Amino acid sequence: MGRHSAAAEPRRPVAAIVAILALVVALAGVAIYRAAHGGQEAPVASSIATCPTTGPAADIAVAPAILGVVTSAASRVTAKHPCRTYALTSAEPATTAGILRGDGPKPDAWVSDSPVWTDAVRAARPGTLATGDQPLAVSPLVLAVPTAVTTSSAGAGASVERATWKSVLTGTSGLTVTLTDPDLTTSGRLVLLSAPGAVGTASSARADLAKILLGWSHAPTRSEPELFATLTTGAPAAFPASEQAVTTYGAKHPGVVSGVIPTGGTFRYTYSLVSVAGLSPDANASVDALRQELASPTTRDALAVAGFRADDSADGTGVTGVTAAPVTYLPVVPAATRTSLLQTWQAVRTDARMLALIDASGSMGEKVGGETRMQLATGAAAAAVGILPPATELGTWAFGIDKGGPGQDWVELAPIRRLDRATNGISQRDLLTRILPGIADEVGGGTGLYDSVFAAYQQMVGTYQVGRANSVVVLTDGRNEDPVGLTLEQLLRKIDQVKDPSRPVVVITIGMGTDVDIAALQAISTATGGTSYVATNPQDIGGVFIDAILARRCTVANCAS
């Protein structure tokens, strides 16, 4: 629009003068915004000139990495259609997902960077988001590795070439890696969801996955901006990020960081526009106009220049001087697996307080292959003790008819204490590691299951600790055989009498072999909100025990917020 002399113009209506003033103010604001933001386009939030009435601007939440591209596209829409205006908000997808899952005000549309967030909203609040997400661009998940490491002639340089997501997660890559928070970052969420596939299906995979989740959940995590900042200050470490983020940072800080795609493939960021359901006709028209502009050749060129790939088949970005190779993308994790894994993640973030009950009846002395059932059971328990975080509180009982004396079917072998607490110069972890093999000396007699479970449950409710996942873990190879103890019906009734909603304690039952009373174990677990497992082949007990440890329930009352 040309600039004209005020003296040469006829008098204008007040509305037209206001529009001109608004335009001048808007242009000045754009100049100020560009100066303050390194040339980035400013959000378009007000209408100019030809709108007979000005409705509210369409509110769009945008993932920060793609904000500049979307802002420019919105500006072009408003330039062509002044009535179509936009209020763009830069927001991490995890934050927007939380808003959309809540009951407060919501944006009209959302440019997210991964389906892991949009799917989470759809699962939690069906009908909140409209169907038909519009894909805009992709970016591979890479390891941001300090260039000094990638060019090293020592072992670290060679480790980069051999790195896989499994070696990164299990700490065997030879690289110093800091993982990001799966609850706050897309990089962390994608790495978390890749964990089961990364560790594989070998017999040791469950233990590997448990060690990864437990260690990660209790280690300090940092945001990506913080980790990028360490590349030029302090002691830099490798960390997961998008290729686009690494490329963008590298353009501003040449020779500092390299994006490394782990051997075997990786996951992707998928940027897309999705509308919130139930928009007004005006808001819907504004979102549709933006949708069309985001699909334009101009926007596609801008995405490439900003470091994004057009789609899965693209073999590089359009950034000057950057050459990126084709990428092998790993299969998308099924929705059910994602849900289960995220539930597990939420549970393991909270420190556990557990009492483990191990069956010491005579049948536990029977051999399966080259080991007794007791050796398999205590070996599984020892493996779990070895990977639990230091702040875990754990104790153990052995049980069998009259094991604690006449009329008492349980005997305490180690009271509940933190694993890192030392007593008489020995930590609880080391004490349990020494005690567990010795339970074999207790083997003999019948199975006093019901009385032992109730005693343990009653004690855990009575000594409940807020902020921890409080549970009883029962491992048995048989069924209750105490003729003078509680019946199943009496046990369930007494559990119901003791149960306190403000002190939730779950009982997790684990059966070994084919002689277990599956129905009874399930009934006990169900009565307390716990889970029941059966290892038909006792040699599978190690993996099942790990599953049980990971599956402790996380409720409002027994988990930290």
Give the pLDDT of residue 32: 33
Angle between helices 518-528 and 488-498 (to 10 degrees): 10
Give the pLDDT of residue 36: 37
Nearest Cα residue to 184 out of 107, 116, 247, 122 = 116
Give me 308's structure tokens. 């994004």
Q: Please check whether residue 552 is in contact with residue 471, taking contact to mean a CB–CB distance below 8 angstroms.
A: yes
Surface-to-core class of residue 218, CB atoms within 10 Å of its CB (0-12 exposed, 13-18 middle, 19+ buried): middle
Q: Please check whether residue 553 is in contact with residue 469, taking contact to mean a CB–CB distance below 8 angstroms.
A: yes
Sorted by sequence, the CB contacts under 8 Å of residue 339 that are 6+ apart come out as 123
Provide the whole-model pTM: 0.79
Ramachandran region, residue 162 (left: φ > 0; alpha: ψ -120 to 50; beta: rest) = alpha
Residue 258: enclosing H or E segment and its boundaries?
Answer: strand 257-260
Q: Would you say how long the chain is, in residues?
A: 561
Query: What is the separation of C-alpha 321 from the centre of its chain, rounded to a whole number of angstroms?
Result: 35
Walking along the chain (561 residues) 10 residues at a time, the average pLDDT comes out as 32 31 35 38 45 80 98 97 95 96 95 95 95 95 86 56 84 87 93 86 77 86 86 84 93 89 90 96 96 97 93 73 76 82 85 95 92 93 91 96 96 96 95 95 95 98 94 95 96 97 94 94 95 89 83 48 35
| Residue 550 backbone dihedrals phi, psi, to 5 degrees | -75, -25
Nearest Cα residue to 276 out of 112, 448, 81, 500 = 112
The residue type at 383: A
Give me 314's structure tokens. 């693209």
What is the C-alpha to C-alpha distance for residues 546 and 510, in angstroms, rounded to an integer?
Answer: 11
